[in-house]
Structure 1
Amino acid sequence: MNILTQRLVAALPLALVAACGSSPPSTASDGNAMVYASSARPPSSIASCLRSRLPRAHESHSGNATELTVGSRSNASYFVTLTPNGNGSVIRVTHGASSSNDPPEEELRFYVARCTT
């Protein structure tokens, strides 16, 4: 399978989740979101799933939101925010200030899609 086909196959579950997700709020801070979707799963379940698949994922809490940094704690590659809503969770993923892609973006998107469905 060539690289383009692999990427499309990896992105398919996320596209399905994103299609079912709510639209992001129109605030400047959400304009940088790589992924913005909703899931029927609770934040704790999604966080546990992501931590099991991403060895460099670190969990913290801010109010009612669960936050995961992926990569180095001091220079994260990605930030995942899981906020509970009435029907499960809202998932927001942004790229960190780090220029690192550890893990590659396609892999992160695949795991997010897998853990939110």
Structure 2
Amino acid sequence: MNMLTQRLVAALPLALVAACGSSPPSTSSGSGSDDGAMVYASSARSPSSIASCLRSHLSHTHESHSGNTTELAIGSSSNASYLVTLTPNGSGSVIRVTHGASSSNDPPEENLRFAVARCAT
């Protein structure tokens, strides 16, 4: 492996973590469906693969499906701390994370972001 390739491979985890902290693209009207997302990223992995990975890394994960979208409630099933929406796209999935109805931070936001970054790759 040449030096440039080694550097790119070494920088990949940092780029993914940065993507998890990025804001979703803004819309001209300001009322797009991604307003309020705390994580908005894309992945080459399928929604089912990402959901399985997140379930293995985060406790109290409740999965549901709406059409072709997979939804994960993280935390209490009736009062989730976070909502993860996994939508298939042509080459993988779009991951969108928002705060749930609960004001709880269980798991801590840093743990959630780390799990999403890990499972998106």
TM-score (norm 2): 0.78
Report whether the alignment pairs 1:93 with 2:97.
yes
Counterpart for residue 79 of structure 2: 75
Q: Identical aligned pairs, as a percentage?
A: 73
Cα deviation 1:55-85 (Å, max 9, x = unaligned): 2111110010000000001000000000000
**Separation (CA, whole Å) in 1 of partners of 2:94 and 2:48:** 12
After the TM superposition, list the runs of 4 or more consecutive aligned residues in structure 1 that deviate by more than 6 angstroms.
none
Cα deviation 1:9-52 (Å, max 9, x = unaligned): xx94421x449x9x546334421100001000000000000001
8 Å CA contact 1:81, 1:92 repeated in 2: yes
Counterpart for residue 39 of structure 1: 43
Q: Rg: which structure is higher?
A: 2
Report whether the alignment pairs 1:14 with 2:21.
no
- Bigger RCO (CA 8 Å, 6+ sep): 1
> Secondary structure at 1:74's aligned position in 2?
coil
TM-score (norm 1): 0.81
Gaps of 5+ in 1: 1-10
**Separation (CA, whole Å) in 2 of partners of 1:41 and 1:57:** 19
Tell me the number of residue pairs that the alignment of Structure 1 and Structure 2 aligns. Answer: 104
**Separation (CA, whole Å) in 1 of partners of 2:108 and 2:101:** 15
Gaps of 5+ in 2: 1-12
| AA of the residue aligned to 1:92 | R
Distance 1:64 1:47, change over 3 A: same
**Separation (CA, whole Å) in 2 of partners of 1:30 and 1:83:** 12
